[in-house]
Amino acid sequence: MIHPLVRKELREHRGVLVAMWVVCALGLLTLLLASTRQGSPVVAWRGLLTIFGSLLSLALANRFVVREYGGSTQLFLETLPMGRAQVIAVKWLTSAACLLVPMALGFGLILVVAASKVELVPRFVLLLAARGFVFLMFVHALAFFVGLTGRYRYVLWLALVVLGIIANTLWQAPPQQWPPLQLVSAAMPFQREAAPVQALWITGAMTAALVAATFTLALGFQGSWVVALARRMSLREKIVVTAAFISVAYIMILVEDRKPKPAFSVQDGVTSSTGLPRVMVARAEGVSTEAALALARRLATELQAAREYLAIDKLPVVAVLPDASIDSELFLVADLPDSDGVVVRGAVGAERFDEAGFRAFTLGKVLDWHSRHRASREPRRWLLDGFPRWRIARNDAAQRELLTLRSAAALQALESERGGLAPALRHWLTTREQLGDCLGDALAWRATQWLSESLGEARFGQLARALFGQRPTGDIRAFLSERPVDELLQNAGAPTVGALADKLQQAIHAEGAGQADRIPLQPWSVKFEAVPMRGSIFELRHAVTPAGSEPPPPYAVRYMRVGPWDGELTRASMERVDAIAPGVLPASFPRGERVFTAVEMYSPQLQCTLRLGARRWQVQ
């Protein structure tokens, strides 16, 4: 009695099954190709499980359950001499087999590919197989159960998504920490010894519970529950469900009392005096307690002044981690998943440490924190880069002079490569990527400075408060209440970004006329070239050629691989190779790889590092 049903299922779904298996096979090949850049072919196993295992489970549940009950053909099965439990069991096991067989074949292929590249010991293989099997069974059991809920299946899936969001935001338990997803975590392909025993057991128990729930639902009240659930939603139900979801979404929006993360704390450091924003500077070699305390006070004072200027209620805890090992011009901000605050790192105490730049960087990060990172979105990012610089330099004539010079150099570089300033401000992240931090910050400062001069104290203050003074809500309402930059500028009486850029360009040209001799020319042409090594593997060669007889100064090559969706590239994430002559980068690149390359060299006139020839391109 089992065989006819199995045959019927396979025959009914064979077209879709074959199509899905082909998709899985193509997906696996793509994953295996991508895994060459991810350290191990075993990475493809994780992708196969999470992407294609999940998709296949959903498709199978839809075919084996939703279609059967939705089409009421289970009534036909029930009239045959066969038990209802038998029908469900056969369906569950057949669809599980349809999921496991291609996954097992995929796993086998991955092992064959991986055998020549990583060491495959039996324990590691077993571990991978066990994690995959338990995960797949869980996903299958979940999809099967949800499929049985008929017209409420979308509601359940949405409820699961909502649960994930709530767990992430309110309970600090992101879904990737849930036992089933722990089994296929990013570390899975590299965990050769440690078995996630607890996650395996919990996921297994969850699977068993789902199977029990499946049979209870399918057999309860002689199968009438599941038949009732399979009926289409009435208009009234649709209205109720929609209203319920809108209500839940609205409640989630309104619930602001999310569990606050603990403030970041430095174990060993000095703290700014009370009455000022809390700034801690960690103790580090080469930075005396007095110097650290002085830096903390200057930063705290600056933050307090900005707070009063912008009418900000609350500032985050700021922690400074001096780090002599990084470039003196490089400032870093930490990503804090489990605590709250702004943690910045810089070469405090180093010879060429730019404290003014560091303070501006820190203020910028504080403002970004206050805006819940909305200030760093591209349309308004130039204002976030420029405003802190403007604050720091407003009482420092030497700084302003230097920044004016840098901004003139920035405009010169832009005009030689991209044309006007208007597109540069509209596509600020690209502009900044091409100019580098030094010239990018200077140009942003100049635009802010121009705004403050042309608007006057009061209106500029109004604009700054509109931009940075209000802390948006941490939910969808922030999207709804956010005003475009042009609108904010116009509210303050300023021209729109396009008109502002034209006027600024004229102003910089006028200033530059008097100091043309001070703006350093960049008489070098930068060239990157992909040269095939073997097959489709390329090496990248770099060269800086002088226009005249003067040899180029020592330079650094910055490069990194980029994905199609990569946004801002930070200096910290780029590789660096120092060079004094043409050479080859110490890495190989497959055909079609997207890369970012640039050359950086120090300019004594501008007292910072300039970036030349920056671009993203495809190796071929």
Partner 1 sequence: MTAAFVLEDVVYRFGAVKALDGLSLVVRQGEVYGFLGRNGAGKTTTLRLLMGILRPAGGSIELLGSRVSRVPVSLKRRIGYVSQEPAFYPWMNAQQLGGFVGSFYPTWDAAEYLRLLRMLDVPTDRRAAELSGGTRSKLGLALALAPRPDLLLLDEPTAGLDPVARAEFNDQLIILQRERGTTVFFSSHLVGEVEKLADRIGIVQAGRTRFEGSVVHLRDSVRRIALADDAVPEGFERLRGDIFRADPARWDLAGSGGLAAEKLSLEDIFLAFARTDRLPA
Binding site for partner 1 (CB under 8 A): 1, 3-4, 8, 12, 71-76, 78-83, 222-224
Whether the CB-CB separation of 438 and 406 falls below 8 Å is answered with yes
Shortest distance in whole angstroms from residue 179 CB to partner 1:
37
Instruction: Please give the structure tokens belonging to residue 50.
Output: 């999470």
DSSP 276: S
Closer of 11 and 259 to partner 1 (Cβ): 11
Shortest distance in whole angstroms from residue 228 CB to partner 1:
10
Exposure letters 355-379 (e unless 16+ CB within 10 A, then b)? ebbbbbbbbbbbbbbbbeeebbebe
Instruction: Please give the structure tokens belonging to residue 355.
Output: 């404290």
Please name every residue paired with 544 in a beta bridge, in sequence order, or none if there are none. 526
Shortest distance in whole angstroms from residue 42 CB to partner 1:
40
Closer of 227 and 422 to partner 1 (Cβ): 227
Residues 609 and 603: their CA atoms lie apart, in Å, by: 6
Closer of 229 and 333 to partner 1 (Cβ): 229
Whether the CB-CB separation of 328 and 351 falls below 8 Å is answered with yes
Shortest distance in whole angstroms from residue 2 CB to partner 1:
10
Shortest distance in whole angstroms from residue 533 CB to partner 1:
54
Distances (CA, A) of 286 to 283, 290, 322, 354: 9, 12, 9, 16
Closer of 80 and 294 to partner 1 (Cβ): 80
C-alpha 422: how far from chain center: 28
Shortest distance in whole angstroms from residue 57 CB to partner 1:
23
Whether the CB-CB separation of 511 and 412 falls below 8 Å is answered with no
Strands across the sheet with 608-618, in order? 575-579, 555-561, 594-603, 608-618
Closer of 87 and 137 to partner 1 (Cβ): 87
Closer of 9 and 600 to partner 1 (Cβ): 9
Question: What three-state secondary structure class fits 590?
Answer: strand
Whether the CB-CB separation of 498 and 492 falls below 8 Å is answered with no
Ramachandran region, residue 275 (left: φ > 0; alpha: ψ -120 to 50; beta: rest): left
Please name every residue paired with 21 in a beta bridge, in sequence order, or none if there are none. none
Whether the CB-CB separation of 177 and 187 falls below 8 Å is answered with no
Shortest distance in whole angstroms from residue 229 CB to partner 1:
15
Shortest distance in whole angstroms from residue 40 CB to partner 1:
44
Closer of 118 and 229 to partner 1 (Cβ): 229
